[in-house]
Structure 1
Amino acid sequence: METVSIRNPGMYWDIAANLHFPPDFDEANSYPAVVANHPIGSCKEQTAGNVYGAALAKAGFVVIVPDASFQGGSGGDPRWIEDPEQRVKDYRDVIDYLQTLPYVDAERIGILGICGGGGYSIKAAIIDKRIKALVSITGVNFGRLFREGFSNFDPVGTLEAMAAQRTAEIAGADERIDMLLPESVEKGKAAGITDIDVLEATDYYRNRCPAEGSGTRMLFSHSAPAMAWDAFAFAETLLTQPVMLVFGDKPGGFGAYRDGMEIYGRAASKTKQLVVVEGWSHYDLYDQPVPTKIALDRAIPFLKQHLGEPVTSRVAEPAE
């Protein structure tokens, strides 16, 4: 694995990303590549990298896992901004970078995202036809989630509060940084939280896979763009690439089951595969061995079908 910094024209900071390489990697070969995108509040060292990125690389793909701008190891200030349009731009800038690598086939690039990263990856595929195949793992339309649960079903009131907070910060007030999760599962339950997604997210980020770059927080005053954003807009006409949607059948408040069914119906893609992982939840698909194996056993052949295998360029030496 190699950590790289990516800066493209028009950017004022670097994107930090981890490159995962196949076994017996040879720069003289030509490889299909996948951009693997982390969830909201996550980072490149967690599920997008240590589960899906690692498995895809082992299967023969060059995989790049970026940190979101303003988060993790990537630059951008102020910190902890969750801007869907910027996330999609990040992915497109990462594809620009991939296409400069001599061992990556620029015509065989796919994208995979988890949770909010799945929704962002769907939007990236809608507008960027360099992406030849798409896999969404328990993908969530973050704009819909923000207008509903994240705003306590009061999007207009939340926008007004954001406006007031931004005005206050310009005048010198401290930033308001909202924690997306309770400090622990126990404290969440004590506060009356019962939603499976919130409690299992807390277990994942606080216990199962804590990471320094994982913020699980959001700068409130800069979050307004997410409220009017839609990962699925124009999917009926513009989402034409082969797409696989993977999610569990134990629905929670983040809405991956609902969003997966919606985009499956709306996508214009002629090749669409729906993988409902029975008996498992949103966060089980982050790292639990059985459901992640089910997801990867379907995703890897799908990506190989549409992106192909590595092409060996070296000429074998004659036997003596």
Structure 2
Amino acid sequence: MSDTIQHVTVKALAWDLAADVYLPPGFDESKAYPAIVSVHPIGSCKEQTAGNVYGTALADEGFVVIAFDASFQGASGGEPRSIEDPVFRVQDVSYVIDYLVTLPYVDADRIGVIGVCGGGAYAINATMTDRRIKAVGSVTGVNFGRLMHESFSRYDPIGALDAAAEQRTAEARGAEPNVTQYLPASPEAAREQALTELDLFEATDYYRTTRGEKPGGRTEGLLSRQGSALGWDAFHRAEVLLTRPLCVVVGDRPGAFGAYRDGLEIYRRAASKDKELVVAEGFSHYDLYDKPEPVKIALEHLVPFYKKHLSP
């Protein structure tokens, strides 16, 4: 298991991103390694599944892996805090690649990206426009724009846009920020409120317990800055622009966040001539975060996928 982690900073638009670089066993800085950017879930942080599960596992297989906190989140810079803006999330991937290509031990022609949950769709979207990315993997990827249009706006995107506009004006005039909590405070609170839908409850079990809870993982969003997500679609123009090799991993126990449907959609729409759909049968969205058996299924496909497409 990779135990060599370097804590680094990456220059973004006008602030720094906090990142962890996972180095493979027997690392030799005189060599040039393939590298993978690992993108964390919505409202999450680099220490949650993107780094400690998939980052570590891929580093063990010989890749240099960099997991980073998104702008406005975790230990990264950017104000105000707790913005979940897809435009910035996608740009962050390119800033991280800007950093990778300066490292003498990274082969700039062998860079891939992987993302989990919302990070999966961000990784896919980044691959459409940053041609430095040679292969993309999505693990239980969720199109955050689609999710905002549907359940996260209570199926009223125009009403949500009006509320965001009103709140942003109020904050510009000095009002306190309105921070939306995506999840109940605990699994017990979820049960008390009858919030036991599969994805919502399992998210609470992951993020609100010692199973996955980390200081940087806030699972919250600023109401006044939700307009960008409501007007965004991770898969826009995938039929033309998504030509890089693609590996999509989903579980077949679907929940309200929609990773299963999003996975099938992007697999169908992608222009990629080399694409693979992996269905972890009997497992859910959050099982693929850290449960050994479904993670093993994912990695049994992702590791050879990256080795094939990031080979010399």
State if a TM-score over 0.5 links the two structures. yes
| Local SS of the residue matching 1:110 | strand
Aligned to 1:303: 306
| Local SS of the residue matching 1:25 | coil
Highest RCO, 1 vs 2 (Cα 8 Å, sep ≥ 6): 1
**1:13-162 correspondence runs (5 A):** 13-162=15-164
Give the distance between the partners of 1:3 and 1:220, measured in 2 at CA. Answer: 31
Give the distance between the partners of 2:155 and 2:55, measured in 1 at CA. Answer: 35
Give the distance between the partners of 1:123 and 1:195, measured in 2 at CA. Answer: 28
1:235-270: CA deviations, max 9, x gaps? 001100000000000000000000000000000000
| Local SS of the residue matching 1:77 | coil
Aligned to 2:269: 266
1:43-65: CA deviations, max 9, x gaps? 01110000000000000000000
- 2:11 aligned residue (7, 16, 26): 7
| Local SS of the residue matching 2:208 | helix
Give the distance between the partners of 1:54 and 1:290, measured in 2 at CA. Answer: 16
| Local SS of the residue matching 2:183 | coil
Aligned to 1:247: 250
Give the distance between the partners of 1:81 and 1:57, measured in 2 at CA. Answer: 29
Deviation at 1:189, TM superposition (A): 2.1
Q: Percent identity?
A: 59
Opposite residue 213 of structure 1, the aligned amino acid is: G
Give the distance between the partners of 1:171 and 1:55, measured in 2 at CA. Answer: 48
Give the distance between the partners of 1:203 and 1:192, measured in 2 at CA. Answer: 14
- 2:217 aligned residue (214, 219, 227): 214
Deviation at 1:88, TM superposition (A): 0.6
Query: Please, which runs of 5 or more residues in structure 1 have no aligned partner?
Result: 310-320
1:161-199: CA deviations, max 9, x gaps? 111111111122111011110001121122121310010
Opposite residue 172 of structure 1, the aligned amino acid is: G
1:275-319: CA deviations, max 9, x gaps? 00000000000000000011011100110000027xxxxxxxxxx
Query: Please, which runs of 5 or more residues in structure 2 have no aligned partner?
Result: none
Quick check: which has more Rg, 1 or 2? 1
The total of aligned residue pairs comes to 307
Give the distance between the partners of 1:241 and 1:168, measured in 2 at CA. Answer: 43
Give me the CA root mean square deviation: 0.8
- Normalising by structure 1, we get a TM-score of 0.95
The ranges of structure 1 where at least 4 consecutive aligned residues each deviate by more than 6 angstroms after the TM superposition are none
| Local SS of the residue matching 1:125 | helix
